[in-house]
């Protein structure tokens, strides 16, 4: 039997988000036993990779791209052929473009999947009636227009939180006492309340779907639902894209 390509995951951004991405890869793979699952390598070096939002906000001049490239290089050395990064904010051009340039210059031979680029195609393929989309993510993602730029080019109308509400979403992720980065299993009730408030606000502004534009936010919405609002999880979309790149025959139908 031919071996599948190894899927490589850059973890540590944040650590639980990487683990969650691997779990979604397993859940989206057609397999009847252990041996039929795809090979996955997760490397998590959180101490080495600086905060992405801090860099985008100018709070540090150390671009986390270089540390991420080091992880991708390690993944290639253990046989990874396709790689995903378990962080939305990493995909801001100021970081992701440098990662791509460094990979090319270093002759690191992997297929790097861009999670953000996958999202509008996923919505069009599975929710063709949806055109008004809300975004929940970090301030770094919000300020760079990461999702807005990609979605608007594809004809979507993007609805973003107000500045005040964006601060609330950001604190749900980063608060050192209650935020998801501090407590992810389980997510605190305070965080759930903040995120539900933000989701309901976006729905009131006309959003038909919400993109969970931070991998930590998707951890919270594993248990949260808003009536008549479609939750778009880029982490799930990335998991499916990585399976597609490694072995498309192994990809479950979305309803599975």
Interval 46-56 mean pLDDT: 95
Q: What's the pLDDT band for 2 if we cut at 50, 70, 90?
A: very low
**CATH number listed for the domain at residues 6-114+236-250:** 3.40.50.1860
Q: Which of 214, 219, 242, 246 is catalytic?
A: 214
Q: What is the mean pLDDT of the chain?
A: 93
Q: Which of 7, 49, 87, 172 is catalytic?
A: 87
HSE toward the beta carbon, residue 212, CA cutoff 13 A: 28
Verify whether residue 81 is a known catalytic residue.
Answer: no
**pLDDT surpasses 60 at 1:** no
**pLDDT surpasses 70 at 14:** yes
**pLDDT surpasses 70 at 4:** no
In the chain, residues under CATH classification 3.40.50.1860 are 6-114+236-250, 115-233
Q: What is the pLDDT of residues 87-139, one digit of tens each?
A: 999 999 999 999 999 999 999 999 999 999 999 999 999 999 999 999 999 88
Q: What's the pLDDT band for 230 if we cut at 50, 70, 90?
A: very high
**pLDDT surpasses 90 at 224:** no
**pLDDT surpasses 90 at 140:** no
Verify whether residue 87 is a known catalytic residue.
Answer: yes
Interval 55-65 mean pLDDT: 96
Give the CATH architecture of domain 115-233: 3-Layer(aba) Sandwich (3.40)
């Amino acid at each position: 039997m031919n071996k599948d390509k190894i899927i490589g995951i850059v973890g540590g951004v944040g650590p639980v988000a990487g683990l969650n991405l691997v779990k979604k890869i397993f859940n989206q793979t057609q397999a009847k036993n252990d041996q039929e699952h795809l090979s996955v390598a997760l490397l998590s070096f959180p101490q080495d990779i600086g905060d992405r939002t801090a860099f985008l906000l100018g709070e540090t001049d150390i671009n986390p791209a270089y540390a991420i490239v080091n992880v991708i290089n390690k993944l290639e050395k253990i046989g990874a052929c396709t790689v995903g990064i378990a962080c939305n904010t990493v995909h801001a051009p100021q970081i992701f473009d440098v990662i791509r340039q460094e990979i090319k210059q270093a002759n690191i031979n992997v297929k790097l999947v861009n999670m953000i680029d996958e999202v509008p195609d996923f919505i069009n393929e599975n929710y063709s009636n949806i055109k008004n989309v809300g975004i929940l993510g970090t301030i770094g993602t919000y300020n760079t227009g990461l999702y807005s730029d990609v979605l608007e080019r594809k004809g979507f109308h993007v609805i973003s939180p107000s500045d005040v509400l964006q601060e609330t979403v950001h604190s749900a992720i980063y608060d050192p006492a209650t935020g998801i980065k501090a407590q992810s299993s389980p997510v605190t009730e305070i965080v759930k309340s903040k995120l539900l408030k933000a989701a309901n606000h976006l729905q009131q502004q006309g959003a038909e779907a919400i993109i969970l534009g931070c991998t930590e936010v998707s951890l919270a919405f594993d248990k949260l639902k808003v009536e008549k609002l479609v939750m778009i999880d880029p982490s799930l979309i990335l998991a499916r894209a990585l399976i597609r790149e490694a072995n498309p025959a192994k990809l479950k139908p979305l309803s599975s």
